[in-house]
Structure formats: structure tokens, C-alpha cells
Structure 1
């Protein structure tokens, strides 16, 4: 900056005038302070008179720095003082941001962050389920609370309220899973830094294992009754029992999934990943009897003709089961016949016929044998086989003893 330095009446303080800019009636003045540090002359700028600097204020700052150098405490130069001030401002800013984040409520984060992400990344049905779980079961108890104020106690209240409404253990589990996922996302986004309260909550234990499966005779009666009511439903039920497919997997099959030569179905994007299902002669004949469409057309289309796959088995299935008396007198839902019973029946008969757990696992598309073992464990006929085999072994051994005792040596 051009111009001459002008000394002030305050030792160590001087200024230069701005060549054009004025501050009031005078030209604007830029103040600096001069001092010695470690035997060397130093000069540091403070600011303009238009920024409220005066010679007197500059001198006060110079005295402050000199006093700090004497005592060895505090900043000894303007650069140090400014660095400390910048750090303080940064700390204040971070504290404000943290306070703002800590005041973000569960409901606000759910609406602005979690659910939009869920809608982008997950299936529409999953999004709809999680949104409903929050709206119906979570919002009232924890929706208006900041993350830091939500404790295991509040999650237990959610559990109790759902249990009082007679909600299934699996539904309660889903609600806890959504809560846990929201907290995990909040931690990843830096909105919350504490522990996840769901980790301190006892989750309901589930026993969803289907005990019931259809005998061959029961299955044939069911198929005959379904055929009289709904051709589409009959074919879907037959395919489930003959290939072990879930209803959702059957509903999403297109004609491009069928390999007529190999006698297989390509099950794409299934619950546990894509796999190949093998068709029995009867299942293959059933598909042959249907009018084949374009490769991208669904094999089983909605009766209404609307786009999209069928969401669930029609009520006709339940009505037919009721007419046949398959659920008569049965109150335990694990014992009731549903469409999924067909997949369970497939697995049960497959294992009973082969006694091959690995084959059953792969046919069902299970990633581990844990899920498959329940079919093997619950095949009542296999348990009876074991008992009968043991009985036969003892009987044979007893006959041998009698025979040996009657022989004359």
C-alpha cells in the first residue's frame, strides 16, 4: 500500500492513509503495531479505522501482547491471537452444529433422511411396510424425541404397546429392526454419537416353523378344488408344491425364465439370491398347457389385466382350504394350511424321499442348512421311521438269541 507511515502519540503504533477512501471527513487509516520479539523487529497489521480501529485500541493490543510475553501466558503475537480466535470460532461453530444435530428428532430424521433413502434403495413393499410401522407404532412414542433422549425404556414402551394390541412377535421384531436401522444411519451421518438403545432391549423370540404339511392325498384334493374355482390359482399352487417356490417367486416369473429344453426355471432376484428350480413332468406339462406370451410377459398375470405381478394369493385359496376342512379345529397358525404350506410340503416330501439335507437346502434356495434342518427335524414320518428301525433291530436281535438258545452243541 503506497503512502507514508505516520507515527502516532502512542509508542509502537503507526498508520498509513488510504489514497482515496475516506472514513468520515478524514481519509481511512490503516493501523499497525511494532515490537521486538526474540531480538528481532516485528510489525503486524491490525485494521482500518473504518473497521473501528483507533491508535488507542492498537496501543492496548500492543500492551496486551507485551504483558503476555513477560508472563509467558497467552498469545505473544497477533498471528497467534488470531489463530486462537479462529480455533475458538471453529469450536463454537462445531458446538452449535452438534447441538443442532443432537436436537434432531427421530421423526424428523425418519421423514427427511431415512424414508427417502429407503424408498430409493429398497423394494416398494419394504418401503411401505417400514413407513407404516413408523407411522402406526413408533411415531407416537419416539417420533418427537431427539435421538439423545431416546432410551431402552422408550423402545420397551413400543414393544408393550404392540403386544397389548396383539401384534405378532414378527411384527414387533420388524418395528425394532426399523428403529435399529434408523439409529445406525443417524450414527453414520454424524447426527447421533451414542449407543443404539435397541441393543439393550430383549427382542421377542419367534417360532414360525411350519409344523403342517400336506399329504399327497390332501394335495390332490386341494388341486382339484382349486381347479374348479381358479385356473390361475390352481397352476400357481401346483408349481409351488412341485418346485418349492414361494408365492412371490411364482408371481414374478416371466416366460423368459422357462428353459423348456433343460426343464428348469430361472428364479431371479429371490429372497436369498437368484437360483435355478427344476420342473417335474407334471409342472412342465402345466406350463405347456398355458398360452405362452412374450419373453418379458408374466406367466401368471392379474385377472384385472393391470400391470405388475400379483401381490398375494387370492382369498379363493383360503375359502377352498376352509371348504375342504383342512384347518378345521386348528387354532395354532403354525398348524394352519396357507399357500406357503405348499413349499413346506415340497421340502418335507423331498427330504422324506431322499434323506438328503443338502439337496433339500439347494432346492429351496436356502443359503445355509440352518433353515433347512427344520424340515428334516419335523418330518413326523422320519421320526417314526427311526423308532420303527430301533424296534426292528431289538426284535431281530431277540430272535437270534432264541434261535441260538434252541441249538444243541
Structure 2
């Protein structure tokens, strides 16, 4: 008897879902969008045309590109594991994934950051300090939660960001970030720099941060999720403020740990004056050069 997509899903659900952050989402996607169409199909009979038809069915439901991407992504993971577990020999069908624009453009004003940090301070010293550290360094949430005491160099006033999703880097600590690092190093018992009140590793920014954002009305009336304030907004705010302050895009890119400066160019529009100043400088330079020869 040949294995079906349903049987591959059952194994995937048993072996992989327990380690996934939001397994209920994958279960819902499977039950609503994949199982009715492909669940009973034998693995070796799933063709590229079936994947394309599944995509068309999902799009016909009015689902967003992100949701369609999630549906196809889950099916692709299931089939890849089925091949790895030798449930069938493959090959993997072709997946034409929809283009998803996840670029977040929202950043906080100084007033908004003050209001949010004040609300966080009222609720939790820990989350106030983590958020201020993020705002001061531009580190991703995972990078912050993975920090160990040895990653902080107090004498050099830097933090080493290692084993990250992009490139390892060293980020300078400003006064606020340095003070926070010193405080948590003094409290540290040999585990991660920032931990829960029970000493456990923090996995992600949770309900407390979201409730503080809600209390500050920062997302009122905003439908586009790319414009909603989330923890990652602190990283965008760090970059946006630097560019607005005149920091070169290349420097911002290095501090953010972008593997490609194209990723940083989304902030270039925040400092149009830099281009004007650059060509004005060139004009002055050329005039001074000519004058000096007279």
C-alpha cells in the first residue's frame, strides 16, 4: 500500500510539530486548505500541476499572498520530510510561491518611543530594559535573547552578535545600552544575559509587550500589518533614526548585520538631504581646486 499525503502529514505532526512555535496554525492550515484537496493523494502522484492548482484554489478564496505562501510552504515541508524519511523517492514537485512583501516601514517617533518605554517601565523593568536595549543597538529579538555574558565587553563598550541569521558583528553600546548591560551582568548567574524571572531563556516578545503597545494606542486603526508596531519596530526605529541623523547607509547596514546593503536601502528616503549635501560638497571641492591653481 502506497503512502499518501495524509500519512506523511501524520508523521510530520508527530515528529516535527512539537518543536514548532505555533503548531496550531499549521494544523489549521492543513485541515482547511491542504487535506481536502491533497490529503488522500498518493505521495508519488503529487505533481507540479497539483501544487499550482492548490495555489489557485487558495487565491480564489481571497487569501493574502502571505497566507497562500504559508499553505504552500507547509505542504513543501511535509513532502521534503517524506522524501527524507523515505516514504517515497521524490522528486519534489515545483512550487511557484507567491511574492510576499513583508518589508515593515513603521518606526517610532521620539514621542512614541517615550510613551511606550514609560508604559513598559510601569509594567515591567525587564521589558523596559530589553526594549531600550533593542532601540539602542538595533539587535533582532532573537539576537538579544541569545546574548551571553561573554558577549558583552564593558571596557570596549561593545556587544558581540554571533550565531545570527545573517553576519556576525560587533555593535557599539551607547550610554543607555551600556548601563543596562552592566546591570544585568551584575545580576547574572551564568545563564543568558536576559532571562525570565525564573531564570529561563526568553523565547520571544510576548503578551506584555503587545499589551503595552495596545495601551499606548500605537496600532489604533491600522489595518496593514506592516505598519503595526511590534517588537521588530524597535530595530526599524534604530535604523531610521540613524539615517535621519546623517549616518551613512553603509554604516547602518553594518550595524544591522545586513548581508546585502540593498536591504538597508529601504531607509535611504529618510535622508534625501545627504545626496544634495554630497553633490554640493563636490561642487565646492572642484571650485576650491580651480581657485588654488590661479
Contact 2:152 2:181 in 1 (8 A): no
Query: How far does residue 211 in structure 1 lie from its aligned partner after superposition?
Result: 1.9
Query: How far does residue 256 in structure 1 lie from its aligned partner after superposition?
Result: 2.9
| Structure 1 residues 374 and 116: CA distance shift in structure 2, 3 A | farther
2:238 maps to which of 346, 349, 353:
346
**Which position in structure 1 is the counterpart of 2:183?**
289
**Which position in structure 2 is the counterpart of 1:174?**
70
**Which position in structure 2 is the counterpart of 1:396?**
none
SS of 1:277's equivalent in the other structure is strand
SS of 1:289's equivalent in the other structure is helix
Query: Are 2:115 and 1:218 equivalent residues in the alignment?
Result: no
Query: Are 2:17 and 1:125 equivalent residues in the alignment?
Result: no
Could you tell me the TM-score, scaled by structure 2's length?
0.76
**Which position in structure 2 is the counterpart of 1:256?**
150
| In 2, Cα distance between equivalents of 1:151 and 1:173 | 18
Q: Deviations over 1:1-27 (max 9, x none)?
A: xxxxxxxxxxxxxxxxxxxxxxxxxxx
Could you tell me the TM-score, scaled by structure 1's length?
0.57
Q: Deviations over 1:283-320 (max 9, x none)?
A: 1112223442123x1232224x2x64223323333333
Moved more, 147-156 or 243-252: 147-156
SS of 2:73's equivalent in the other structure is helix
Larger relative CO (CA 8 A, sep 6+): 1 or 2? Answer: 2
| Structure 1 residues 211 and 258: CA distance shift in structure 2, 3 A | same
Contact 2:44 2:88 in 1 (8 A): no
Contact 1:115 1:127 in 2 (8 A): no
Query: Are 2:227 and 1:335 equivalent residues in the alignment?
Result: yes
| In 2, Cα distance between equivalents of 1:358 and 1:386 | 13
Structure 2 stretches lacking a partner, 5+ long: 281-294
Query: How far does residue 327 in structure 1 lie from its aligned partner after superposition?
Result: 2.6
Instruction: Work out which of the two has the higher radius of gyration on C-alpha atoms and give 1 or 2.
Output: 1
SS of 1:276's equivalent in the other structure is strand
Structure 1 stretches lacking a partner, 5+ long: 1-99, 394-409
Contact 1:350 1:360 in 2 (8 A): yes
Query: How far does residue 348 in structure 1 lie from its aligned partner after superposition?
Result: 1.4
**Which position in structure 2 is the counterpart of 1:371?**
263
| Structure 1 residues 271 and 166: CA distance shift in structure 2, 3 A | farther
**Which position in structure 1 is the counterpart of 2:194?**
300
More strand by share: 1
Query: How far does residue 159 in structure 1 lie from its aligned partner after superposition?
Result: 3.7
**Which position in structure 1 is the counterpart of 2:42?**
146
2:251 maps to which of 324, 336, 359:
359
| Structure 1 residues 179 and 185: CA distance shift in structure 2, 3 A | same
| In 2, Cα distance between equivalents of 1:136 and 1:312 | 27
| Structure 1 residues 229 and 243: CA distance shift in structure 2, 3 A | same
SS of 2:143's equivalent in the other structure is helix
Aligned length: 276
The Cα RMSD (Å) is 3.5
**Which position in structure 2 is the counterpart of 1:44?**
none
Moved more, 356-365 or 145-154: 145-154
Query: Are 2:5 and 1:106 equivalent residues in the alignment?
Result: yes
SS of 1:302's equivalent in the other structure is coil
Query: How far does residue 128 in structure 1 lie from its aligned partner after superposition?
Result: 4.3
Q: Deviations over 1:119-173 (max 9, x none)?
A: 8xxx933694896454664334323211233244543454466557776533432
